[in-house]
Amino acid sequence: MSTLGRVAAALISAATFVAVTPAQEHGKPAGDKPAAGAPAKPAAVFVIVKTGDKLEVMNKEAVDAKNKQFAADYDKAMAQYKKDKEAAEAAHKPFDGKAPTKQALEATGGDFASKEAAEAAMKKMVDEKAKADKEKADKEKAGKDKPKDGGKGKDPKHRQGR
């Protein structure tokens, strides 16, 4: 093999080595890992949210955003309500408007790393609630079946007052 062939082979192998191995010298990050000083993107966190009587799985960031939106909507509605009420009082007219109610999404059951885990926990919560409701209904039904005199029936052989 000629000298020119050996130099070319050495250059190709060196270039391949440099291209394949990650550059870790001088504080450079390896591959596509984030730099040590850069903030790492947090993993998605899912929560079970109660809206009225309904349960739903949502991303925690989405819950925070919705609560902020609800708060902003409430502030606007309250300002309009006060303005309308003051206008009615100034005109000496009765005001029958309803005050706005504050809405909020209530997170229950803790934080979950995956949506599947949150949905499984939500299903368990729904099942437990259904079981508790059934037991409560059975107790009420059992209470209705009892006689009002405390279970004491009239004995036809035993006569009182004769």
* Interval 90-129: pLDDT, tens: 888 888 888 888 888 888 878 888 888 888 988 998 899 8
For 62, counting Cβ atoms within 10 Å of its Cβ (0-12 exposed, 13-18 middle, 19+ buried), the class is: middle
- The pTM for the full model equals 0.52
Tens digit of each residue's pLDDT (9 = 90 or more) over 54-80? 888 888 888 889 999 999 999 999 999
- The structural domains of the chain, with segments of one domain joined by +, span 43-97+104-136
Q: Which long-range contacts (CB under 8 A, 24 or more apart) does 41-47 make?
A: 43/113, 45/111, 45/112, 45/113, 46/111, 46/112, 46/113, 46/114, 46/115, 46/117, 46/118, 47/107, 47/108, 47/109, 47/110, 47/111, 47/112, 47/118
75, two tokens: 């502030």
